[in-house]
Amino acid sequence: MADKTVPLLRALAGDRRIPPPIWLMRQAGRYLPEYREIRRGATNFLDLCFTPELAIEVTLQPIRRFAMDAAILFSDILVIPHALGQKVEFVEGTGPVLEPIRTLDEIRALSASAVHERLAPVYETVRGVAAELPDDVALIGFAGAPWTVATYMVEGGTSRNFATVKRWAYGASDEFAELIDLLVDSTADYLIEQVRNGARVIQLFDTWAGALHEDALARWCLEPTVEIARRVKAADPDVRVIAFPRGAATLYARYARAEGIDGLGIDHTLERAWAKTELQPHCTVQGNLDPIALLAGGDHMRDQAEAILDSFADGPFVFNLGHGILPETPPDNVARLIDIVRGQDR
Ligand code: CP3
């Protein structure tokens, strides 16, 4: 498959493309009735992630329905703590619940030795999706960035202010570094295996980057992300890497200039004019429609989508949301958004 026939790969190589390629974060999921149908048949969410036949089907659902320019592997960022031996559950209506890691001994009790064995079904899913995708659709592999995964591991789930994990990172940074280093190692190995099995692009989701101050963000978000990108590219120089440090504000500028980051997912709170001048000359920008604008639809969605297209039309760009699609989103709004981006809205 030549890169020149794959719009997402061209855009991530720095080409300006009109219309830009489009995919949406969390494009496989509960807003689709065909997803909910398959989800009902799986005993729990992790089983769905670890059953290649179902995970392949769910990955392909948005491609069939909307003809996006990329498929993103169906899995979750929390499969890494699970593979390291931490207890991870997804509780209906609550979200993820983990047995929290709070001491150095608990970090040291985790083990990377079974990661590939436990994640083998994910690699099989990647292979299966790669075999079925149309030639011009890119397959995106992904993982959580170490900081965001660590927040779930230490807090034991989603958190309001991240007080426990931040106190550890700020007050005993040598200890916390052991956890981050373990996550850098296991995440890089996991992504290299996704690439070996057919992912051409990888995205690192750092959903909670914006919880940290400037210096901590550089240490716990930017550095580990750059190190993972370096290792993945050492294994395969052709892979493209997208970072998504949500909420990083002006610190996005450091990511844009960092080695090994080809694309930068920007959230909807970032000023577009700033992103155009400070980020786009250095790397491909991806984003940044507010997911609620997609949910609401109508003229507001159209106007926002067009404003985003105008803002980034002079450089390399990938259309996406500023964060994941919400479960209440009408699928028809997604279809219309894609028509708008492709200039086919009537
Ligand atoms: O993008 C895709 O379509 C691929 C699949 C994907 C999922 N999670 C499936 C999922 C991806 C890329 C993720 C990433 C993810 N997971 C992130 C980073 C992106 C973001 O949204 O901030 C985070 C923080 C998680 C952790 C996580 N997983 C939470 C907090 C939850 C519960 C809340 C929620 O959105 O439901 C999950 C569960 C989850 N991951 C679901 C899906 C489809 C819903 C579970 C279900 O269907 O029962």
Whether 231 is catalytic is: no
The pLDDT value given to residue 5: 86
152 is catalytic: yes
CA-angle at 144, arms to 264 and 88, nearest 5°: 160
How do residues 299-320 score in pLDDT, each as one tens digit? 999 999 999 999 999 999 999 9
pLDDT at residue number 322: 98
**171 vs 156, 164, 167, 216, CA distance in Å?**
19, 10, 6, 12
> Is the minimum distance from the CB of 207 to ligand 1 under 6 angstroms?
yes
CB 321 within 8 A of CB 24: yes
How confident is the model at residue 346, as a pLDDT? 64
pLDDT of residue 345: 84
Q: 326 CB under 6 A from ligand 1? A: no
The yes-or-no answer on residue 30 being catalytic is yes
Tens digits of residue pLDDT in 70-126: 999 999 999 999 999 999 999 988 999 999 999 999 999 999 999 999 999 999 999
Task: Give the tokens for residue 118.
Answer: 């436990």
> Residue 268 Cα, ligand 1 centroid: separation in angstroms?
19
pLDDT at 93: 87
CA distances for 59 relative to 65, 87, 143, 146, 228, angstroms: 11, 25, 15, 24, 24
User: Annotated catalytic, 76?
Assistant: yes
| Residue percentage of the chain with pLDDT more than 90 | 97
Which pLDDT tens digit goes with each residue over 5-43? 899 999 999 999 999 999 999 999 999 999 999 999 998
Residue 171 and residue 104 in contact, taking contact as beta carbons nearer than 8 Å: no
SS (H, E, C) the chain: CCHHHCHHHHHHCCCCCCCCCECCCCCCCCCCHHHHHHHHHCCCHHHHHCCHHHHHHHHHHHHHHHCCCEEECCCCCCHHHHHCCCCEEEECCCEEEECCCCCHHHHHHCCCCCHHHHHHHHHHHHHHHHHHCCCCCEEEEEEECHHHHHHHHHHCECCCCCHHHHHHHHHCHHHHHHHHHHHHHHHHHHHHHHHHCCCCEEEEEECCHHHCCHHHHHHHHHHHHHHHHHHHHHHCCCCEEEEEECCCHHHHHHHHHCCCCCEEECCCCCCHHHHHHHCCCCCEEEEEECHHHHHHCHHHHHHHHHHHHHHCCCCCEEEEECCCCCCCCCHHHHHHHHHHHCCCCC
Determine the residue of 39, 51, 75, 77 to mutate for testing ligand 1's pocket, defined as the one with the most ligand atoms within 8 A of the Cβ atom. Answer: 77
Given this model, what pLDDT does residue 323 score? 98
Q: How many CB atoms lie within 10 A of CB 54?
A: 18
Is 65 assigned a catalytic role? no
Catalytic residue among 3, 16, 17, 30: 30
| Both tokens assigned to 123 | 């690699």
pTM: 0.97
Residue with CA nearest ligand 1 atom 26: 77
Across the range 240-258, mean pLDDT stands at 98
Q: Which residues, including other chains, have CB under 8 Å from residue 102's CB and lie 6 or more apart?
A: 154, 164, 168
pLDDT at 263 exceeding the cut of 80:
yes
Exactly one of 35, 152, 190, 252 is catalytic; name it: 152
If you average pLDDT over residues 248-268, what whole number do you get? 98
For residue 4, pLDDT beyond 80: no
Mean pLDDT of 211-217: 98
186 ligand 1 Cβ < 6 A: no
Predicted local distance difference test score (pLDDT) of residue 2: 58
Name the residue with the closest Cα to ligand 1, atom 48: 45
Close Cβ partners of 122 (under 8 Å, ≥ 6 residues apart): 49, 50, 55, 73, 75, 79, 190, 194
Cα within 13 Å of Cα(226), Cβ side = 13
- What percentage of residues in the chain have a pLDDT greater than 70? 99
Q: Is the CB of 76 under 6 A from ligand 1?
A: yes
